Structure 1
Amino acid sequence: MNNNDKKISRIQGPSESARMVETIVGCKWSLTVYQLLAQEINRPGEMVRAVDGLTTKVLNQCLKRNVEFGILDKQVFAEVPPRVEYQVTPFGQKFMVILEALKDLQSKI
């Protein structure tokens, strides 16, 4: 048997998903937003009123990042006054499982 038969390819880390997890977990408010959505609080104004210390500016930045990653979906209604609602996407549901696993791991450390 020659040496070429034994070589194993180097495995690349999941750079995009790692960046996503780091960004979301690093955001002070993302996990709170997910908790609000689980309680069916899905409008930005309701979210700001439901959480002390959460500002509209910071919430909008957080929601925008989550929409860009495909974790949340933004639905805009053509009404006056304008109405916007957010919900977790199917991909976001899978991502929530990862966050729960990280939470469980943290509790064991």
Structure 2
Amino acid sequence: MKTEGENYTRLTCEVETTLRVIGGRWKVLIIRELMTGVKRFGELQRSLYGITQKMLTQQLRELEEHGIINRQVYPEIPPKVEYSLTPLGQTLKPILDAMHEWGLKHSAHLQHQNELGVRS
């Protein structure tokens, strides 16, 4: 039988694994945008205020390497590239839904803390 500490260690390990794949400022937001369907690079960049072209390229490449998104290149001039979620990427929907619900539930408290200047 596992102790509470062993269970926590296992949970921590799995959370770390998840964060290696979707952690960072932009990856979850990119995934959120792709939840609504196929997007081109420019569409993603316009919907993610503040992301640079270099950062978007890097984040898309990492998500593709982890099997979260698919990059489809069409042999056209100019080149047409579309991004979509893979079946593995679609399994992240419950995580994003949970993050959305958490934000809704706690946004008033967090806003109040920000107004008070409380920092973590």
- TM surpasses 0.5: yes
TM-score of the aligned structures, taking structure 2 as reference length? 0.64
> Secondary structure of the residue that 2:71 maps to in structure 1?
strand
Runs of 4+ in 1 over 6 A off after TM superposition: 9-12, 106-109
Structure 2 residues not aligned, in runs of 5+: 107-120
- TM-score (ref. length: structure 1): 0.70
**Which structure's CA Rg is the greater one?**
1
- Number of aligned positions between the proteins: 101
For residue 105 of structure 1, report the CA deviation from its aligned partner: 5.7
Bigger Cα displacement from structure 2, 91-100 vs 75-84: 91-100
Residues 1:41 and 1:51: Cα distance change in structure 2 (over 3 Å): farther
Work out which structure has the larger RCO, using CA pairs closer than 8 Å and 6 or more positions apart in sequence: 2
RMSD: 2.6
Q: Identity of counterpart residues, as a percentage? A: 32
Structure 1, gaps ≥5 residues long: 1-7
Please report how far the alpha carbon of residue 53 of structure 1 lies from its aligned counterpart in structure 2 after TM superposition. Answer: 0.5
- In structure 2, what is the equivalent of residue 85 of structure 1? 82
Counterparts of 1:92 and 1:101 in 2: how far apart (Å)?
15
Deviations 1:24-52 (A, max 9, x none): 44311112212222344611122112332
